[in-house]
Structure 1
């Protein structure tokens, strides 16, 4: 009951805070704390660390309980301790793994920790990238939607002008339908943008765990230092994952080589016989005999060494792929910057001038309403397209920074 009361009292305090719009940094922080992918990768690291504790330990000793030489035929059949052969034996044995194999197992366990940590770094990168792109998509989709709303409001004034001209019989009756047609075209664009907003918000909800996720504030700067990114490629989580796999392959090779060294087992037993006869003690050592290494151990060593070479070549190929991808992405980023500058400095100003000139011509009776409305729609299209180009630049910057650099721009 006390717990229930505490939960009820705390709900009004926590719920509003949880539903506040998120800045860019706040969304990343929320995702880092609530994304189940990161919690799962953290559990994977903990599992590898726990397994490493026992990796190089000796096996548990074995307890041997037996009745030996029990007669099943003859005069003493079925009778315990009636002859000098039957014994009740209690023994213990301990296997000793050769030190080279134990060291190799420890190295393999540490490699597993490295693989788990590299996987965790990849998950952190993927979650941060997905959250950042969802925030950018939602931010710009809402801005483009707001741009359409402004045009819809401006059509009210235009509709009043058309109505006045119809009343004065200076416009054709069919022209009264043209603002409604423009509103229908805007409604189609609004539906598409509303779907983009919904998709981006759904992705942001997925990563942050906030069912009412929304955005506020401005996106981060879109500047990229290409030289710095190229200099730090070796520390990328993807390459670190390959490095961990190389370490694991080398540990497997060491483990295969260690099989050429024998393991041994030490055992001791105490045998209790019939009181008329003396008890017996047995001590022994069992040693593995790797007598045919060319057909047993050496093929395994060669296979593990080939796997290690394959891992190194795979890492080299991925590094070249990343270098090429970074150069390509930087080229796209420069292209999108140029397209954005062209839209801001040329396309939008020209569309605005044309729309104003056409509206002035329509007001003066020198142009039909349909042409003036098309110019107005072209202006909105240019402004929305400029926002889309700005979103492309922002997405490029986020994707490049979070893929090839730190998770904070």
Structure 2
């Protein structure tokens, strides 16, 4: 008896929570997505990475810092007197290195390409966040609406329990104790389903809190879902839409970076030059006669003559990476196209089932309840059939709800795959 009271207390609490949450202003799907995208630290980090790469692009395009040198040459070792010998001199020089070919421009281009890639990665991230949050929100919405269906049906089961008790107490021949037990069992099963659904709803809320931060989720508001129709999908140019997907564009940018790297490796076959200038001062001789100062200028060059072990290998590696990136793009396109076809077929199947539910199953389930109840009231039916018919009707309602939710989940997946139509 104590466990039964506790169960009723828990169910009452669940019902109260459902009533309160239904009265409160709930969290809409669009609002949940907006909050999640606004609170995503990855997007902020991507903006910082973009700024850093843009700054590095400017830095990479500039010449290396010149090298300044100071020295004293030809000092006499017997006295270290700078005026003793005419060749003794103190000097200051500067050297400027000139990187190979267009390597500065290519390194700057690489950094700029990587910086531009961040916008594409952010677009893909926002689309993925929308999918994740939508799936969690829909799970919470599914549980909450299922609880509402059970709460709406529960008074009917209570009436059946009251009817069975009344008939049994009146000593009617058709009434038996098994009818009361059947009605009580049905109510207990409803209580169990309510508690299970409450747990599912709370789990969805907890998982959403990871994305929504401090936003309190009181309820999942009834939302106007985006309607994706089959004919709309068929009419679209799916291949071009996938080509414009942010994830594909990000890989294309990776390919462009790799191509710049190939060009940079080719520049390593060119010579690297350096220009140097030196001014040397000579002190007066011991008699006070003036000595002319000296000025020198020159160039130096390194010659990449032995390329087999370094330049050739580096170029080969860069070319292989570029081709590997093209392979990654082809694989991702193939995967996304297969996923899109799968989601499309799933959506078509769900629509066919929804048509069946709306045209027949929902009506037939309610008709079965009415027919069985009338038969029982006219001593032509079994009470357990009345209970089972009511359970079947509830299950059909919940199954129809699940199909609508599954349709929206499929629509969310399709919307992600077609995100290229709305890329920034």
TM-score scaled by structure 1?
0.85
CA offset digits 1:84-116 (Å, max 9, x no partner): 476554332221123421222122122212332
Which residue of structure 2 lines up, in the alignment, with residue 194 of structure 1?
A: 198
| SS of corresponding position for 1:232 | helix
Superposed CA RMSD: 2.6
> Aligned runs of 1:97-116 on 2, under 5 Å?
97-116=99-118
How do 1:249-398 and structure 2 match up within 5 A? Answer: 249-272=258-281, 276=285, 279-398=293-412
> Residues 262, 303 of structure 1: CA spacing in aligned structure 2 closer, same or farther, 3 A cutoff?
same
Distance 1:333 1:83 in 2: 98
The question of whether the paired residues in 1 share the 8 Å contact of 2:50 and 2:118 is answered with: yes
1:133 and 1:399 in contact (8 A); partners too? no
Q: Is the 8 A contact 1:104 1:258 kept in 2?
A: no
**2:246–2:420: 8 Å Cα contact kept in structure 1?**
no
2-structure distance, mates of 1:66, 1:313:
56
Q: Residues 370 and 107 (structure 1 numbering): CA distance in 2 closer, same or farther, change over 3 Å?
A: same
Residues 229 and 21 (structure 1 numbering): CA distance in 2 closer, same or farther, change over 3 Å? Answer: farther
Matches within 5 A, 1:126-205: 126-170=128-172, 171-205=175-209
Alignment pair present for 1:228 and 2:236:
yes
Superimposed CA distance per residue, residues 9-46 of structure 1 (whole angstroms, 9 cap, x where no aligned partner): xxxxxxxxxx9533333333323322222222222222
| Residue 21 of structure 2: aligned partner | none
Do the aligned residues in 2 keep the contact of 1:45 with 1:116 (CA within 8 Å)? yes
Query: Counterpart of 1:4?
Result: none
Report the 3-state secondary structure (helix = DSSP H, G, I; strand = E; otherwise coil) of the residue aligned with 1:147: helix
Q: How does 1:70-85 map to 2 (within 5 A)?
A: 75-76=78-79, 81=82, 84=85
Offset of residue 319 of structure 1: 1.7
Q: Does 2:46 correspond to 1:41? A: yes
SS in structure 2 of the partner of residue 21 of structure 1: coil
Is there any run of 5+ residues in structure 2 with no aligned partner, and where? 1-23, 286-290
Mapped contact 1:223–1:397 kept (Cα < 8 A): no
Q: TM-score, normalised by structure 2?
A: 0.82
Q: Deviation at 1:404?
A: 2.2
Asked if 1 retains the 8 angstrom alpha-carbon contact of 2:244 and 2:421, the reply is no
Deviations 1:287-345 (A, max 9, x none): 12112334432332232222222222332232222222212221111011112222232
Between the aligned partners of 1:80 and 1:154, the Cα distance in structure 2 is 116
Unaligned residue ranges in structure 1 (runs of 5+)? 1-18
Question: What is the CA-CA distance between 1:356 and the residue it aligns to?
Answer: 2.1
Distance 1:130 1:228, change over 3 A: same
